Amino acid sequence: MKQSMMKKMAALALGVCIAAALAACAAGPDSTNAPADVQIPNPIVEYATLAEAEAAAGFTFTLPAQLPAGYADGMISVIHNELMQVVYSNGDAELTLRKAKGSEDISGDCNEYAETKECSISAADGTSYTVTLKGANGKVNVVTWADQEYTYSITVNPGQEGMGEADLLALATVMM
Which of the two residues, 89 and 25, has the higher pLDDT score? 89
Domain boundary assignment for the chain: 2-31, 44-175
Amino acid at 157: N
pLDDT digits (tens, 9 = 90+) for 55-74: 999 999 999 999 999 998 89
pLDDT at 92: 84
Residue 165 to residues 12, 133, 140, Cα–Cα distance (Å): 88, 8, 6
Measured CA to CA, the distance from residue 126 to residue 149 in angstroms comes to: 17
Q: Determine the average pLDDT of the residues in 153-171.
A: 95
As a whole number of angstroms, the distance between CA 107 and CA 133 comes to 11
Residue 10 clears pLDDT 90, i.e. is over it:
no
8 vs 4: CA distance, rounded Å:
6
Q: Does pLDDT of 85 surpass 60? A: yes
- Best CA proximity match to 133, nearest among 166, 103, 102: 166
Containing 167, the helix (H) or strand (E) segment is helix 165-175
Q: For position 123, what pLDDT does the model report?
A: 92
pLDDT of residue 30: 53
